[in-house]
């Protein structure tokens, strides 16, 4: 391998053919970046029931999740959370799809879908348990029909497909929905999930949020074609939607859910959006990302876009804005309170839930560790780096 950019025989490496990050005319859009509602012959149908009130409520949802995202980022900076993966910029993708789901649908997501969790009705204290380092899982998945966030990239797509196969066996009309990123589409798991979903025509929706970056890697490193087109190769119909347009996302998700409920099998949705913040609070995007790119995307901000539409309709009143802000503040301060007053885990909790039935090896270790802790006057001394003796 040579150290320059030329390929075999000295030829220039060919330009990447497709534009997997592009936002061209093929992108399903119902609201333009300036907030104009544009009609679409096929997709208007799927949001025909959305009243002005409901638009306001979507606006509230998006504002609330942005607010809790900002609050959680602040909590991390203040040392209350160990880490936080911001969703800034992805509000429309999460609310548009999350609000399209039925209570008996089941979500398998990555770590970034906190807005979807909000739609499922997650207790926000539960949402933070994992990020504070107080628990391995924040909630009972069956309580809100949403699996706990997945960190292993793409693994959840297989779980969703299997869950969907179960729904199918049961003769139910619920749907499994799985969320993942653009980078995830490179993992074997995601590709295998699509094979299974297509083979068994499982009622599963693959919701890929193309936020353009997988930590430092741009989407063009993962794919030479648009991500939505990958699904075609597996025999899965795809929809490519403007992920910053809450109505378009909702329409696409509703179509896909309807198809799945009626036995039409899987659908792949690519929601084209942008990660406006860092990958996580531990990441430094200035090392790899051009500031101009961020500016371009800021102009397509999902919340201002919906605000633009509400404004054109004459319903973005000062009252509404005040009300939405108050709600967002209230939710955020409740979350902060829940975070800072969360009880600390107890040392012996480390042994809980490893098995559903007792295991003699572990019981022995547990007994020994309890004796060990008891040998210290102050158990905190037992774990100090310097030692207590």
Partner 1 sequence: MTQLTFARAINAGLRKSLENDSKVVLLGEDIGALGGVFRVTDGLQKDFGTHRVVDTPLAESAIVGTAVGLAYRGYRPVVEIQFDGFIYPAFDQIVSQVAKLHYRTRGAVRMPITIRVPFGGGIGSPEHHSESPEAYFTHTSGLRVVTVANPQDAYTVIQQAIGCDDPVLYFEPKRRYHDKGEVDESVDPRSALPMDKARVLTDGSDVTLVAYGPLVKTALDAASAAADEGISIEVIDLRSLSPVDYEPVVASVRKTGRLVVTHEAAQSGGLGAEVAASITERCFYHLEAAPVRVTGFDIPYPYSKLEMHHLPGLDRILDGVDRALGRPNSLSGLEG
Ligand X SMILES: Cc1ncc(C[n+]2csc(CCOP(=O)(O)OP(=O)(O)O)c2C)c(N)n1
Of 151-159, 164-172, 195-203, 293-301, the segment contacting ligand X by CB under 6 A is: 151-159
**Tokens 């391995």, residue?**
136
β-strand partners of 104: none
- Of the residues 288, 355, 364, 368, only one is catalytic, namely 288
**Tokens read off for 380:** 């905190």
Taking the complex as a whole, how short is the minimal distance between the CB of residue 383 and partner 1, in angstroms?
4
Has 111 been annotated as catalytic? no
**Tokens read off for 329:** 């503040």
**Residue 38 or 362 having the CB closest to partner 1:** 362
- Interface with ligand X (CB under 6 A), residue from 21, 98, 162, 183: 183
**Tokens read off for 323:** 């009300």
Q: Determine how β-strand 176-181 pairs with β-strand 217-218.
A: unpaired
Of 145-153, 266-274, 312-320, 379-387, the segment contacting ligand X by CB under 6 A is: 145-153
Among 149, 281, 272, 286, which Cα is nearest to 216's?
286
Binding positions for ligand X, 252-281, rule CB under 6 A: 275, 279
| Residues lying near partner 1 in the complex (CB under 8 A) | 1-5, 82-83, 111, 130-136, 151-153, 183-184, 186-189, 214-217, 221-222, 282, 287-288, 344-345, 347, 349-351, 354, 359, 361-362, 365-366, 368-369, 371-372, 374-376, 381-389
Taking the complex as a whole, how short is the minimal distance between the CB of residue 3 and partner 1, in angstroms?
4
**Residue 102 or 368 having the CB closest to partner 1:** 368
Taking the complex as a whole, how short is the minimal distance between the CB of residue 151 and partner 1, in angstroms?
5
Task: Indicate whether 152 belongs to the interface with ligand X (CB under 6 A).
Answer: yes
Q: How many CB atoms lie within 10 A of CB 335?
A: 20
Q: How many helices (H) and strands (E) does the chain have?
A: 14, 7
Which of the choices ligand X, partner 1, none does residue 66 contact, using the CB cut-off of 5 to 8 A by kind?
none
Taking the complex as a whole, how short is the minimal distance between the CB of residue 214 and partner 1, in angstroms?
5
Taking the complex as a whole, how short is the minimal distance between the CB of residue 346 and partner 1, in angstroms?
8
**Tokens read off for 334:** 């409740």
SS3 assignment for 250-308: HHHHHHHHHHHHCCCCCEEEEEECCCCCCCCCCCCHHHCCCHHHHHHHHCCCHHHHHHH
Taking the complex as a whole, how short is the minimal distance between the CB of residue 156 and ligand X, in angstroms?
11
Question: For residues 372 and 233, what is the distance between their CA atoms, to the nearest angstrom?
Answer: 58
Which of the choices ligand X, partner 1, none does residue 294 contact, using the CB cut-off of 5 to 8 A by kind?
none
Q: Determine how β-strand 238-242 pairs with β-strand 217-218.
A: unpaired
Task: Indicate whether 181 belongs to the interface with ligand X (CB under 6 A).
Answer: yes
Task: Indicate whether 153 belongs to the interface with ligand X (CB under 6 A).
Answer: yes
Question: CB under 8 Å to 284, separation ≥6 — which residues?
Answer: 278
Taking the complex as a whole, how short is the minimal distance between the CB of residue 304 and partner 1, in angstroms?
30
Question: For residues 178 and 184, what is the distance between their CA atoms, to the nearest angstrom?
Answer: 12
Question: CB under 8 Å to 216, separation ≥6 — which residues?
Answer: 279, 285, 287, 288, 289
**Residue 200 or 351 having the CB closest to partner 1:** 351
Torsion from C-alpha of 70, 73, 78, 83, nearest 10 degrees:
160
**Tokens read off for 183:** 């980078």
Q: Output the CA torsion sign for 305, 206, 215, 110.
A: positive
Across 264-300, b (16+ Cβ under 10 Å) vs e yields ebbbbbbbbbbbbbbbbbebebeeebeeeeeeebeeb
- Interface with ligand X (CB under 6 A), residue from 63, 114, 157, 211: 211
Which of the choices ligand X, partner 1, none does residue 211 contact, using the CB cut-off of 5 to 8 A by kind?
ligand X
β-strand partners of 217: 214
**Residue 22 or 345 having the CB closest to partner 1:** 345
**Residue 145 or 156 having the CB closest to ligand X:** 156
Of 27-35, 193-201, 206-214, 331-339, the segment contacting ligand X by CB under 6 A is: 206-214
Has 279 been annotated as catalytic? yes
Task: Indicate whether 184 belongs to the interface with ligand X (CB under 6 A).
Answer: yes
- Of the residues 99, 112, 159, 279, only one is catalytic, namely 279
List of residues contacting ligand X (CB under 6 A) = 110, 112, 151-153, 180-184, 211, 213-215, 275, 279
> Catalytic residue positions?
275, 279, 288
């Amino acid at each position: 391998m040579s150290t320059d950019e030329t390929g075999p025989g000295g030829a220039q490496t060919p330009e990447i053919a497709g534009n997997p990050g592009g936002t061209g005319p093929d992108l399903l859009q119902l609201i333009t970046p300036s907030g104009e509602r544009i009609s679409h012959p096929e997709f208007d149908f799927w949001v025909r029931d959305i009243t002005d009130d409901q638009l306001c409520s979507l606006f509230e949802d998006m504002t609330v999740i942005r607010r809790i995202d900002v609050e959680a980022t602040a909590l991390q900076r203040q040392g209350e959370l160990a880490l936080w993966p911001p969703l800034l910029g992805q509000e429309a993708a999460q609310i548009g799809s999350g609000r399209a789901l039925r209570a008996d649908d089941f979500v398998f997501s990555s770590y970034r879908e906190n807005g979807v969790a909000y739609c499922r009705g997650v207790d926000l204290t539960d949402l933070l348990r994992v990020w504070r380092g107080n628990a391995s899982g924040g909630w009972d998945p069956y309580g809100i029909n949403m699996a706990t966030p997945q960190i292993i990239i793409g693994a959840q797509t297989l779980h969703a497909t299997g869950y969907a196969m179960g729904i199918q066996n049961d003769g139910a009309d619920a749907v499994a929905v799985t969320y993942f990123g653009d980078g995830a589409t490179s993992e074997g798991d995601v590709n295998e999930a699509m094979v299974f979903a297509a083979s068994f025509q499982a009622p599963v929706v693959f919701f890929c949020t193309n936020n353009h970056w997988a930590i430092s890697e741009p989407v063009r490193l993962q794919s030479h074609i648009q991500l939505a087109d990958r699904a075609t190769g597996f025999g899965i119909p795809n929809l490519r939607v403007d992920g910053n347009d809450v109505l378009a996302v909702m329409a696409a998700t509703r179509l896909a859910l309807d198809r799945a409920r009626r036995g039409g099998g899987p659908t792949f949705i690519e929601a084209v959006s942008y990660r406006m913040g860092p990958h996580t609070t531990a990441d430094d995007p200035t090392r790899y990302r051009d500031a101009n790119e961020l500016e371009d995307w800021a102009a397509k901000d999902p919340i201002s876009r919906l605000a633009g539409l509400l404004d054109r309709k004459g319903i973005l009143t000062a009252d509404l804005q005040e009300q939405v802000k108050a709600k967002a503040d209230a939710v955020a301060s409740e979350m902060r309170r829940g975070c800072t007053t969360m009880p600390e885990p107890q040392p012996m909790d480390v042994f809980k839930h490893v098995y559903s039935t007792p295991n003699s090896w572990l019981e022995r270790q547990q007994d020994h560790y309890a004796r060990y802790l008891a040998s210290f006057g102050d158990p905190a001394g037992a774990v100090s780096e310097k030692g207590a003796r």
